[in-house]
Amino acid sequence: MTNLPARPDLPPLLLSRGFLSQDQLDEAKKRGAEGPKFAEVVIGLGMITEDQIHFAVSGETGLPYLHLSADMVDRDLARRFSGGALVKHGVVPLFEDAEELSVAMVDPWDQAAHEMLGRVSSKPLNVSIAAKGNVSEILRAILGRQSAEAEATAVAVEDGTGIALVYQQLLGAAAEGARQIHFDSDPEGLRVRFRVGSRLLSKATLPAMMALSVFTRLRVLAGVDPFDLGEYLKPGVRSQLGGKDVEMTFSYTPTAGGGSAVIRIDPVASGAGSRSAEEILGDAALAARIVADLGRAGQLVGLGAPRGIPECAGLGTALLGAAAAAGLKVVTLQTASATGVLELPASNRPFADRLASALALAPDVIHLAPNPDDLSAALEASVAGPCILIELGYRRAADVVAQMFSTGESRRALVAATAGTAVAVRAVAQLCESCRTPVDTTEKRQLLGHLEELHASALAEGGWFEAPGCDACKGTGHAGRLLLAERLVITPRARAALREGRLADAVRLADRDCAEIAWVTSGRIGLEELS
C-alpha cells in the first residue's frame, strides 16, 4: 500500500474537534457504533454528517478532501480500470503523470482498493478523500451503464434472498443426485434445471428480477470478482453437500437474453472409482504414448471408442485425466468427470461459439465429440495452437482417419497439416487356452493367400491358433474378451498421401502401433480378429 498517515481513531478525533459530545458517543456505542461500523451508525443516527467526518479526517491526516466534478477526471485513465471494481471500492482515478497516480477514495485505507489500482498502474498513489455519494455520482457520469450495473451488483452481493435460493438449489441437487445445475435467464424469468443422469429436468422458473442476485452469489461462491460481469470458468471449488465432499466447477456465459450459468458437481474420489487409461488399455507404455501425442501442439488426434463396449467405457475421460496429471491444460466440450479437466458445459450456443470459448482459455488440449457438420471447425481450431482430441465411434484407426478426411476436398490440405494420430479400440474374443491348437502348415499356406499383404508378411514366419470348443469354454472356443488398441501415427509420407487425396496409401504409410499380430501368433486371439 502507498505510504499513508495512520488511520485516525474516529471517536476521540470527533470528540476532540467538537463534532460529537461524550453523551452522543455513549449513545452511539449502545447502538453498536464500534470499529468499522462507527461512521455508518453515527451518520444513520443523525449525530453527524459524512462531510463533517471527512473534514475531521482531512484535518488530522493532511489528506485533501475534494468535492469532485466530472471535468476533474481523465476518462481515458478511468476506462483502464474495471468499472465494477471502482464502484465496489469507491475510487475515482483523477489523472496520471510520470511520477504518480492521483485518485480520490471514500476510504483511503482500503487495502483491496490499493491492490486493485496496483494491478493497472505501478506508480505511487497521490490520495485524496471524497464522499461516497459524490464518488457514486461521478462514476455514473463517466461509466454510464457499467456503473449502474456495478451498483446493482453491490446490492446483490448482500441480498439474502439470492443467497438462500442458490443454497436451496445446491441442496436440492445433492438430494436428487444431480451432477449439474443450470441457471438460464431471459426476460421471461430465470429457469433452473438439474441434470440427473442423461436427463435435463426443469425444476423451477424464478422471477427475472432474481437473476442478478443469483448470478452474483454464484460468482462469490466461485471466488471470482462479483463485479466482473463477463464470462468465467472456475473449477476445483471444494465444499460439502448433503454431508458428502464434492468438487464444483462454476461457469457463466452472457447471452442475448441475459446469462447462462452452470454448476457441475463431482464427488471427491475416495480412492476407488474410475479406471485409469493404463487399466483400460492394459498397456502402460501405450497409454503413455497416447498422452504424449496429446502434448503435441497443433495436432489432431482421433479416438475411436465405440459406445456399448463396456471394456472401453471411460477411455476418453481417462486419457484427459492422464494428460491433466502430466501438466497439460485440458478443456472439454463434453461431460468428462476427470480431475484437473475444465468442462465447458453444454448449451444452446452454436458449436463454433463454444469452441471459440474453449480456445480463449489457451488450453493445451481441447476434447470434443463433434457432429460431422462440425468437423471443419474442429480442424481449424487445431491450427490455433492446441491439440484437438476428437472422439468418434469407430473400431479401427483407418476408419478414424477416414472420418477426419471426410470434411471435403477444400479441407484436404488442412487435414494433411494437422492430422497427428488416430487411436481406435475394439473388443476381441480371447481363445480358450484349454482347446486352442496351432493351425497346420497346409491350411496356413492356403489362408495366407487371402490375407492382406500387411498381415500375410507378418504371419508368414509365425503361426496362429484355432479353438474348436471344449467343456471348459462350453463349446464356444472363447474365454472372455480383451480390449485391443490400435494407434496410427501420421508420418511425413502418409501426410503427403493425404495432401494428394490417397487415403488408403496414407493409412498404409502411417506407423502402426498394435499388438494384434503378437496376440495372434501367441494364441491369445484368432485370425478372424485381425483388422
CA angle at 43 for the pair 38 and 46, rounded to the nearest 5°: 130
Structure confidence at residue 152 (pLDDT):
46
Q: What are 391's strand-pairing partners?
A: 303
Structure confidence at residue 104 (pLDDT):
92
Cβ atoms 455, 471 nearer than 8 A: no
Of 212, 219, 250, 211, residue with least CA distance to 234: 250
In 299-343, DSSP assigns E strands to 300-304, 330-332, 341-343
What's the sign of the alpha-carbon dihedral 214, 219, 223, 227? negative
The 3-state DSSP composition of the chain as helix, strand, coil percent (nearest 5) reads 45, 25, 35
* 48 DSSP assignment: S
Structure confidence at residue 460 (pLDDT):
56
Residues of the chain with pLDDT under 70: 1-2, 32-33, 36, 144-164, 227, 240, 242-243, 269-274, 306-311, 313, 335-339, 345-349, 370, 372-373, 382-384, 406-411, 440-463, 531
Q: Rounded to whole angstroms, what are the CA distances from 232 to 223, 336, 371?
A: 11, 19, 26
Q: What is the pLDDT of residues 439-449, one digit of tens each?
A: 765 555 555 55
Structure confidence at residue 153 (pLDDT):
44
- 141 backbone dihedrals φ, ψ, rounded to 5°: -70, -40
244-254 and 387-392 beta bridge pairing: unpaired
Crossing angle of the two packed helices 145-157 and 211-222, in degrees rounded to 10: 70
Phi-psi group of 362: left, alpha or beta (phi > 0 → left; psi -120 to 50 → alpha; rest → beta): left
pTM: 0.51
> 217-220 long-range CB contacts below 8 Å, 24 or more apart?
217/156, 217/159, 217/162, 217/163, 217/165, 217/166, 218/166, 218/183, 218/250, 218/252, 218/261, 218/263, 219/250, 219/252, 220/157
Q: At 483, is the secondary structure helix, strand, or coil?
A: strand
Q: What is the pLDDT of residues 174-212, one digit of tens each?
A: 888 888 899 998 888 889 999 888 788 988 888 887 788
Q: For the chain, what is the largest distance between any 2 Cα atoms, rounded to a whole number of angstroms?
A: 116
Which residue in the block uniquely carries the three cell numbers 453523551?
Answer: 23
